[in-house]
Structure 1
Amino acid sequence: MALMDDTQTAFPLDIYLSPEDKSMVHSHLRVADIPAGTVLFDSTSCKGVIVVVSGVVRVYILSDGGREITLYRLFANDLCTLSVSCVMGSMPMQAMIQTDTDCRITTLSNDIFSDIHSRYPSIQKLMLETMNSRLSDIMWVLEQVAFKAMDVRIAQYLLSRPSLIVYSTHDEIAAELGTAREVVSRMLKYFEKNGYVELSRGKIKIIDERGFRKILEKSE
């Protein structure tokens, strides 16, 4: 896994930086091509702030019994807030970050990120907003795990249709499963965000059938 400097690589915080600081940050960026299935971060050590240039990265927690719970996924240009939390000394949980696909990853050192974070209120505000959004994602996932396996029920419903393109409204699915429309809409948005489906009016296109199969297998 070769590391290299790449001053042409986009960095999500570029728009907030002065030309001098942008040049400084890019001179310290490390870019690596990482194969699928590689653990990037296990919360035991802070190796810098991670940004996804391309590919998909999964953030998850692992129970004492070995059960994995996916918290959310990161896509192109997403900055990993867990790595930021670790750098800032406030790691909120023991989490794992692993590449779902072959990825290109950019890493910025702890010292450089801490420096620009301390000097740019706009970056501080962005980090707070991003962390709040990720916390909402995590709370939603934990709520489903603790109280209702609605992901399994909706996955079963979608896979039971005769085609990978399902012509059903959220109301129709809710009526079929005996739940509220809002619950169905939120779960489908979660599936869309994680790359399982594409949503349009009255239509759901399954784009990761294998991912749905894994959801069902884990529930058995």
Structure 2
Amino acid sequence: MHHAIYRVGENGREITLYRVHSGGVCLMMMASVLGDLEYEAFAAAESDVEALIVPAQTFRNWMHAYDSVSKFIYGLFIRKMSVITQLVEEVAFRGIDDRVADYLITHTSMHSNIRNTEERWRRFWRQLLSHLQSKPEQP
């Protein structure tokens, strides 16, 4: 069971920010409540969902009254920030050819066979990317 948290741009395009899985919490909602700020994001159930909706003031009270709740919530924020930072670093410091090759190596059913030929995959993607970048666009 899970639902997607997403935003809609001015151009109407949607981007999924993250998914909340069974037993999880919506970090965007919590950040909005704790910071008393509005953040326009939407949730869409992608399967059957049972949810607990807690009034904002009740949630704030729990954060102040129960150390275990605040530690749990702040731990979630730190883990999510770590994932986001890692993603930004991947995009900033690694080329798309390496990222695509790693994705294919990691997410294929022939995982062990492809791992043995990782460098050939990397060469293939570099050559393909180079070819696509050098090819003039057709009108």
TM over 0.5, shorter chain: yes
Would you say 1:83 and 2:2 are equivalent positions?
no
Shift in CA distance, 71/138, structure 1 to aligned 2, threshold 3 Å: farther
State the shift of 1:74 in Å.
1.4
Q: 1:166 aligned to 93, 110, 113, which one? A: 110
Would you say 1:120 and 2:72 are equivalent positions?
no
Q: Answer whether contact 1:60 1:69 (CA < 8 A) is retained.
A: yes
Instruction: Determine which structure has the larger helix proportion and give its number.
Output: 2
RMSD: 3.4
Structure-to-structure mapping, 1:95-110, within 5 angstroms: 95-110=41-56
**Whole-angstrom CA distance in 2 between matches of 1:92 and 1:174:** 45
TM-score by length of structure 1 reads 0.43
Would you say 1:177 and 2:119 are equivalent positions?
no
Shift in CA distance, 123/158, structure 1 to aligned 2, threshold 3 Å: closer
Q: 5+ unaligned residues in a row in structure 2: which ranges?
A: 124-139
**Whole-angstrom CA distance in 2 between matches of 1:140 and 1:117:** 28
Shift in CA distance, 67/156, structure 1 to aligned 2, threshold 3 Å: farther
Q: Percent same amino acid among aligned pairs?
A: 22
Which residue of structure 1 lines up, in the alignment, with residue 11 of structure 2? 65
The number of residue pairs the alignment matches comes to 120
**Whole-angstrom CA distance in 2 between matches of 1:146 and 1:89:** 29
Q: 5+ unaligned residues in a row in structure 1: which ranges?
A: 1-54, 179-220
Letter in 2 for 1:79: V
SS of the aligned residue for 2:50 comes to strand
1:131-172 Cα offsets, whole Å, 9 max, x none, are 11112223344555667546655566688xxxx732426844
**Whole-angstrom CA distance in 2 between matches of 1:71 and 1:94:** 12
State the shift of 1:86 in Å.
1.3
Would you say 1:138 and 2:98 are equivalent positions?
no
Which residue of structure 2 lines up, in the alignment, with residue 47 of structure 1? none
TM-score by length of structure 2 reads 0.62
**Whole-angstrom CA distance in 2 between matches of 1:151 and 1:67:** 24
Shift in CA distance, 158/95, structure 1 to aligned 2, threshold 3 Å: same
